[in-house]
């Protein structure tokens, strides 16, 4: 069954917001001026950050791929306190299920977009880009495109569930 991307974005809007916040956060860390931020909108794209071109090409890679790190960590941390009541104690309430939803929603938006891949590719194609940055950057672009293709088969949802449900389950198992 196919569900339009806009419907998924609306249902999982907290993840979209965190994704854009992550781009903005990395811009601020690198002191890259940000011109406009749209944390969420109904449409395509569902959010974006317009910023100046970073002075170093590797910074473009990190700014574009930053949501992978931030959304993954935050999704796991938000879901973790709810995991014990939801999966073992049989005393979960609506707050625990809300935390699980937020964890999955945030983690499933960890994958950088194809627009992020295009930004990295643009930087990599410039003459002054170092060979090391290209060596790292081109595989990153490939992985982003694979993630985009995989999202057509719900890879992003599977990832979100693995991070927000699977990791807490593993921690509970190891601690038992």
Take residue 88 and report the two structure tokens written for it.
């073992």
Parse the chain into domains and list their residue ranges: 5-175
Take residue 21 and report the two structure tokens written for it.
């916040």
The DSSP code sequence of 98-152 is: HHHHHHHHHHHT-SPPHHHHHHHHHHHTSTTS-HHHHHHHHHHHHHHHHHHHHHT
Contact 166, 107 (CB under 8 A): no
Contact 164, 75 (CB under 8 A): yes
Please report the pLDDT score of residue 1 as a whole number. Answer: 47
Please report the pLDDT score of residue 70 as a whole number. Answer: 97
Give, to the nearest 10 degrees, the angle between helix 57-84 and helix 13-29. 140
pLDDT tens digits in sequence order for the chain, 176 residues long: 456 778 888 999 999 999 999 999 999 999 999 999 999 999 889 999 999 999 999 999 999 999 999 999 999 999 999 988 888 777 889 999 999 999 999 999 999 999 899 989 998 998 889 999 999 999 999 999 998 888 888 899 999 999 999 988 888 788 87
Take residue 172 and report the two structure tokens written for it.
């509970």
Residue 146: count of CB within 10 angstroms of its CB: 12
């Amino acid at each position: 069954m196919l569900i339009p991307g806009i419907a998924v974005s609306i249902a999982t809007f907290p993840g979209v917001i965190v994704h854009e916040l992550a781009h903005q956060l990395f811009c601020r860390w690198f002191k890259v001026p940000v011109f406009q931020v749209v944390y969420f909108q109904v449409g395509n794209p569902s959010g974006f950050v317009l910023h100046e071109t970073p002075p170093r090409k590797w910074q473009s890679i990190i700014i574009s791929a930053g949501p992978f790190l931030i959304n993954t960590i935050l999704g796991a941390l938000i879901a973790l306190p709810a995991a014990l009541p939801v999966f073992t104690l049989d005393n979960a309430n609506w707050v625990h299920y809300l935390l699980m939803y937020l964890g999955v929603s945030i983690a499933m938006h960890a994958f950088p977009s194809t627009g992020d891949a295009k930004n990295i590719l643009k930087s990599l194609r410039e003459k002054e880009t170092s060979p090391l940055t290209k060596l790292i950057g081109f595989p990153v672009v490939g992985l982003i495109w694979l993630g985009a293709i995989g999202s057509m088969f719900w890879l992003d949802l599977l990832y979100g569930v693995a991070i927000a449900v699977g990791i807490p389950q593993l921690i509970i198992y190891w601690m038992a």
